[in-house]
Amino acid sequence: MRGRHPQAVARTAVPIILVCAVVPAAFTTFGPNSASATTRAATWFSVLLLFGPAAVFAFVPPGSTAPMLCSLALGGVVLVDVMNVVTQDPSAAAQAFLSFPVLWAAAHLRRGAVFLVLALSVVTDAVVLGLLLPFAATLTDFALSGTVLVVIAVMLVRAADEQRRLIALLQHQAAVDSLTGLVNRRVLDAALDRAINRPAGAQGAALLLVDVDSFKSINDQYGHPIGDEALVHVTSVLRSVVRTGDGVLSRMRGDELAVLLPEWSSDVAVRRAGEVRQAVRGTPLQLPDGTLLAMSVSLGVAHAPAHATGLEELYAAADAALYAAKRGGRDRVAVAAGGGQRSRRAAPTSVRAVSRPSASPSATTSSNTR
């Protein structure tokens, strides 16, 4: 029953309420509502009544008014119907005021609230017309007013649904790498920042940087389309080892991937890194001609707070460990052994290797380039 966007709801609620107050006031001063003391009193009472919610939405923070949104639309429907009965006005102009709460609800509230407001407006409009008009005239007017209310509500709801779908698609495209389907660096940074700043007593967070060995050689020998397939293949193997619920998988840049393992100890993260290395090594990529391309990855592991306490420091520690694994012969896991401030160009004295292959995959040893 809450609005889709509380701030937008608050901004539009105030002008709509004021319009609904100013128009009856004008009718009372210059138009048909000045016909009797009763109609004048009822109209001015409704005008003053509308200033209450207008003030609330104007000065109260949007988050605090969220529970009132559906009630405001329902109250608007009831107020219009009561005014039509009191003023004995079943005209099209009087019924048109029902479109304000319906339009506002359809533009800003969720689907359930919209149809609740629509149902109330249609049912009460039929009752009011039945009280003020003969049966035949009631049917004619209700068919027109009811159809208009339903059509505009349905059209606005469908437009809002399509807008939400497009926004969700854009957000997905902005957060996910199109080739691998992994989240991008921005999403990983946000998740890693939350993991690092968990309350004291948590196990911390491990960061694994994964680099495809001799990826440039694969591109040079087989072409970039095969290189893309190789990266997608490694991503698939990575997903099979690190389930979605275990961590966050990300594509950093080029052939470098990253795995965030929140609430994991350093030792368990190292074991999982070894499982990733062995899984890639044991799952060659089948090329279009049926040839099996053996692949391997090198991994750098760093843990917060064991090896770093900040976001950039943790990245630097994992990056130094990855560089040590590549420099030490590839197809291995290396773990940061201290603070992660050293750059990749520095000698990897703070890194220890924890796994070494018995032999390098034949298809990835043709070049010593990364």
- CA separation for the pair 315, 340 (Å, rounded): 7
Q: Which of 145, 130, 45, 140 is nearest to 95 (CA)?
A: 145
Listed in sequence order, the residues at least 6 apart from 139 whose beta carbon sits closer than 8 Å to its beta carbon are none
Res. 196: pLDDT tops 60: yes
The pLDDT, as a whole number, for residue 233 is 95
What count of Cα atoms within 13 Å lies in the side-chain half-sphere of residue 31? Answer: 13
Res. 365: pLDDT tops 60: no
The pLDDT, as a whole number, for residue 209 is 96
Lowest mean pLDDT among 146-150, 211-215, 219-223, 338-342: 338-342
pLDDT (average), residues 362-368 = 36
**Two structure tokens written together for 105:** 């609800």
pLDDT (average), residues 321-340 = 86
Q: Which residues share a beta bridge with 256?
A: 211, 253
> Which residue segments constitute the domains of the chain, with CATH numbers given?
6-175 (no CATH), 185-364 (3.30.70.270)
pLDDT band at 228 (very low <50, low <70, confident <90, very high): very high
Give CA separation, 224 vs 134, 220, 280, in Å: 78, 8, 20
If you ran DSSP here, which 8-state letter would residue 346 be given? S
Res. 339: pLDDT tops 70: no
Q: What pTM value is reported for the model?
A: 0.58
Res. 63: pLDDT tops 70: no
Q: Which of 363, 343, 359 is nearest to 351 (CA)?
A: 343
Q: Give the number of other Cβ atoms within 10 Å of residue 339's Cβ.
A: 15
The pLDDT, as a whole number, for residue 362 is 39
pLDDT band at 358 (very low <50, low <70, confident <90, very high): very low
Residue in this structure with the two tokens 């009822």, named with its chain if needed: 42
- CA separation for the pair 203, 140 (Å, rounded): 70
pLDDT band at 281 (very low <50, low <70, confident <90, very high): very high
| CB 207, CB 315: distance < 8 Å | yes
pLDDT band at 341 (very low <50, low <70, confident <90, very high): very low
pLDDT band at 151 (very low <50, low <70, confident <90, very high): very high
Residue in this structure with the two tokens 């495209």, named with its chain if needed: 173
| CB 323, CB 300: distance < 8 Å | yes
Give CA separation, 333 vs 188, 313, 328, in Å: 21, 19, 10
- CA separation for the pair 351, 340 (Å, rounded): 10
Res. 359: pLDDT tops 50: no
**Two structure tokens written together for 344:** 């990749």
The pLDDT, as a whole number, for residue 64 is 66
pLDDT tens digits, 87-115:
888 888 888 889 888 988 888 888 888 99
Helix (H) / strand (E) containing 363 = none
pLDDT band at 160 (very low <50, low <70, confident <90, very high): confident
Q: Which residues share a beta bridge with 249?
A: 259
- Provide the phi-psi class of 249: left if phi over 0, else alpha when psi is between -120 and 50, else beta: beta
The pLDDT, as a whole number, for residue 351 is 52
**% of the chain beyond a pLDDT of 90:** 41
- CA separation for the pair 21, 230 (Å, rounded): 66
